[in-house]
Structure 1
Amino acid sequence: MRIAALLATLLIALGLAACGEEKTSDIPDGDETTAAPAAPTETEAAATPDKPKVEKGEGKPPTKLETEDLKKGTGAEAKDGDELTMQYVGVLFDDGKEFDSSYKAGQPFEFTLGEGMVIKGWDEGIKGMKAGGQRKLIIPADLAYGAEGSPPDIPPDTPLIFVVDLEKVN
């Protein structure tokens, strides 16, 4: 008798659950067609999914800033006063030891170009990049951290190499 009462209660609960509200989720069931995601706007580019590998420098250390576009962007061009959203990896020129990375931090880096918020090599080397682009910056010590360095990771008078991805220009 007790089992019959328990079974009846269970059946009633299941029946009431089946009478619940209709599904209102916006998530498609798989048989519905979905629109393609919107393309990046002119000032924004898709995030770079993979952390780039940055090799140590070759030959003599640089005496002036060197830039190389690894991928040309198609979005807005970065100019002084623009707020930029970047991903980056930085290594020491001499041995390729990574000292910093936005990927390691888990989020992009934001700053205003041309306002001295970053090392001079960035302010000069990123100017003119377009959103969606990837650029290699080989920065002499005087446009990086100079004679002071940035202890403990960057010794004095050390040239640096960055690979930067410009995700967004505001």
Structure 2
Amino acid sequence: MSTQTESAKRRGQAFAGALAGVAIVVVLTVVFFVVKNNDSDKTPVASTQPAASQPAAAQPTDAAPSEPAAPTAQAQPSAAAVNTPAALSKEPEVKAGGTTKLTKLVKTTLVAGTGPAVQKGQTVTANYKLVKYATGEVMDSSWSRGTPFSTQIGVGAVIQGWDEGIVGLKVGSRTQLDVPEALAYPGQGDLRFVVDVLAAQ
């Protein structure tokens, strides 16, 4: 066999060996990523409540305002045990307030509560119904979701109208909160809430 033939044969073997080495590296890389992805799929994911289903604190934005869904951008805290009084067992009918612009928060007691007064920083569990103040159009309601809403109050977790309006209310009360736009959602106008305070802890 000639030296030229042997040299060509060696080059071919070296090339084949290099290709085999590259193939092994590719296979190992693929296996590594497949195993890693399978492990990451098993990582527990924290459950969160959709922000759109709560009375969220208003965030400053240049974008067009979205419809407010409820008074928290934060996840709902654990609800306190609730013993709903008979006077709060039926969904309230909420009417329009009129076309006069609100200049301040107005609280009107509809059902007097007999429980303790809500303190700043407590977690409140409440049913509420929200309408546009001028027209009475329903914008949101915990009644329609079939579950009360829980949030920490007085700490900026919800709109200012709730933080100012709910502190001091008694558990077991039903209160109408007429909230000027400045204490609610930019671009949504004045609002009327009827809030049933079911528990506070």
Is 1:85 the counterpart of 2:85? The answer is no
Q: Output the TM-score relative to the length of structure 1.
A: 0.67
The one-character-per-residue Cα deviations of 1:111-147 (angstroms, maximum 9, x if unpaired) are: 001121111001101111010001000000000112x
Out of 154, 161, 164, the position equivalent to 2:192 is 161
Higher relative contact order (CA 8 A, sep 6+): 1
Q: Check the 8 A contact 1:142/1:157 in 2, yes or no.
A: no
Distance 1:58 1:95 in 2: 7
Are the aligned partners of 1:45 and 1:131 in contact in 2 as well (CA < 8 Å)? no
Aligned to 1:112: 152
Return the letter of the residue paired with 2:122. Answer: D
- The runs of 5 or more residues in structure 1 that have no matched partner are 1-42, 147-155
Q: 1:95 aligns with which of 135, 153, 172?
A: 135
Residue of structure 2 aligned with 1:135, choices 167, 175, 179: 175
Which structure 1 residue ranges, 4+ long, deviate > 3 Å from structure 2? none
Task: Report the Cα distance in structure 1 between the residues aligned to 2:157 and 2:142, rounded to whole angstroms.
Answer: 16
Correspondence list, 1:68-83, <5 A: 68-83=108-123
Report the AA paired with residue 84 of structure 2: A
TM-score, structure 2 as length reference? 0.57
Note the residue ranges of structure 2 that are not aligned, 5 or more in a row: 1-80
Computing the radius of gyration over CA atoms, which structure comes out larger, 1 or 2?
2
Residue by residue over 1:87-129, the C-alpha shift from the partner in whole angstroms, topping out at 9 and shown as x without a partner, is 0000001111100000011100000011211110011011110
Q: Is the 8 A contact 2:127 2:197 kept in 1?
A: yes
How many residues in Structure 1 have an aligned counterpart in Structure 2?
119
CA distance in 2, matches of 1:129, 1:89: 17
| 8 A Cα contact 2:99 2:134, kept in partner | no
CA RMSD of aligned residues (A): 1.5
Please give the secondary structure, in 2, of the residue aligned with 1:103.
Answer: helix
Equivalent position amino acid for 1:168 in 2: A
Q: Work out the percentage of aligned pairs sharing the same amino acid.
A: 37
| 1:45 Cα deviation from its structure 2 partner | 4.5
